[in-house]
């Protein structure tokens, strides 16, 4: 027998042995079922090793889970209250109304507990206490607050008086202008502010014998109602309206201070400059 023939016989015997060892029933060998390569593939194929099994790490509960659950409960409670109220209104039977009132009582109880906790927090955290912010409600504290505001307002008015004048537009036949005149005179004397009275119709006003006649200011400032009061800064020509109609001394002071402190701020009306005819 030649050498090639001998090699062929060996290969044939090896194939018959493999065929005898591997069942033909269509079932996978035990090795493949266990994740091992099929021996029928032989040594001609490269197989990757089987992937290790994935480890499932249990998820630990977090603080956010409790918050989400609470929010979900709140939304559910809102829905339940609305549904029970609607049912009680549409069908006001005793059981329906009673169920709604029972749920409402629970809600009111929780709200009362919330108010109690919020109050205790406010007592220990003054930055969260409304009673310590802005205008106080206690009578004693309110008196101290008002005195401090008066001192601050007088200081600002003294500063305003150094650079500003008040322009007072009136008519001789206007009863409101006659009522406003003594109030305005007392205010200017108290705070040392210069007053420039301007007669719109050429008439006179008691207490203002040196009143000026209109020289175009009425048109420039668009004065359509008297008494009218404007705050003017002579060296800059800036003029801002203070108010129209009869005002008290307290109102005059508050408005002038607000104009001065809020100058060029948001929401402040744009000033009019003398000579601006737009």
Residue 181, Cβ neighbours under 10 Å: how many? 19
Strands 194-199 and 238-244, how do they pair?
unpaired
Domain coordinates in residue numbering, the chain: 72-123, 140-273
pTM greater than the 0.75 cutoff? no
pLDDT category, 103, cuts 50, 70, 90? very high
CB hemisphere CA count around 17 (13 angstroms): 6
pLDDT in tens, 40-98: 555 555 556 667 777 766 666 666 678 888 899 999 999 999 999 999 999 999 999 99
Residue 267's pLDDT is 42
First-to-last C-alpha distance (Å) of the chain:
125
Residue 263 has pLDDT above 70, yes or no: no
Task: Write down the residue that tokens 């109220």 correspond to.
Answer: 85
User: What is the pLDDT, as a whole number, of residue 204?
Assistant: 85
**pLDDT for the residue numbered 19:** 47
| Mean pLDDT value across residues 123-134 | 80
Residue 233: pLDDT over 50: yes
CA distance 81 to 216: 67
Cα 241–Cα 245–Cα 249 angle in degrees, nearest 5? 80
Name the pLDDT band for 125 (thresholds 50, 70, 90): confident
Q: What is the model's pLDDT at position 127?
A: 82
Q: Is-contact 208 181, C-beta < 8 A?
A: yes
Specify the CATH class of 140-273 in words. alpha beta
Task: Assign 20 a pLDDT band (cuts: 50, 70, 90).
Answer: very low
**Residue 128 CA to chain centroid, in angstroms?**
17
Cis amide prior to 116 (ω within 30 degrees):
no
């Amino acid at each position: 027998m030649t050498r090639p023939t001998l090699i062929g016989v060996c290969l044939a015997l090896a194939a018959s042995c493999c065929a005898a060892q591997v069942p033909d029933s269509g079932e996978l060998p035990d090795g493949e079922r266990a994740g091992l390569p099929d021996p029928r593939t032989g040594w001609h194929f490269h197989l990757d090793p089987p992937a290790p099994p994935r480890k499932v790490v249990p998820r630990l509960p977090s603080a956010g889970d409790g918050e989400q659950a609470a929010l979900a409960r709140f939304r559910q409670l809102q829905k339940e209250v609305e549904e029970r109220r609607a049912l009680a209104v549409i069908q006001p039977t005793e059981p329906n109304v009673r169920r709604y009132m029972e749920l409402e009582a629970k809600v009111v109880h929780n709200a009362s507990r919330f108010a109690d906790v919020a109050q205790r927090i406010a007592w220990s955290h003054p930055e969260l206490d409304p009673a310590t912010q802005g205008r106080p409600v206690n009578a004693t504290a309110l008196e101290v607050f008002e005195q401090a505001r008066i001192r601050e307002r007088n200081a600002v008015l003294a500063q305003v008086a150094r650079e500003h004048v008040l322009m007072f537009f009136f008519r001789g036949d206007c009863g409101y202008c006659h009522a406003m005149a003594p109030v305005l005179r007392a205010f200017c004397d108290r705070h040392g502010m210069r007053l420039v009275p301007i007669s719109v119709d050429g008439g006179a006003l008691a207490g203002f014998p040196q009143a000026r006649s209109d020289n175009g200011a009425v048109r420039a400032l668009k004065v359509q109602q008297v008494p009218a009061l404007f705050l003017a800064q002579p060296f800059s020509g800036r003029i801002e309206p203070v108010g129209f109609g009869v005002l008290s001394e307290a109102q005059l002071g508050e408005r002038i201070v607000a104009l001065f402190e809020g100058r060029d701020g948001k929401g402040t009306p744009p000033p009019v400059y003398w000579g601006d005819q737009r």
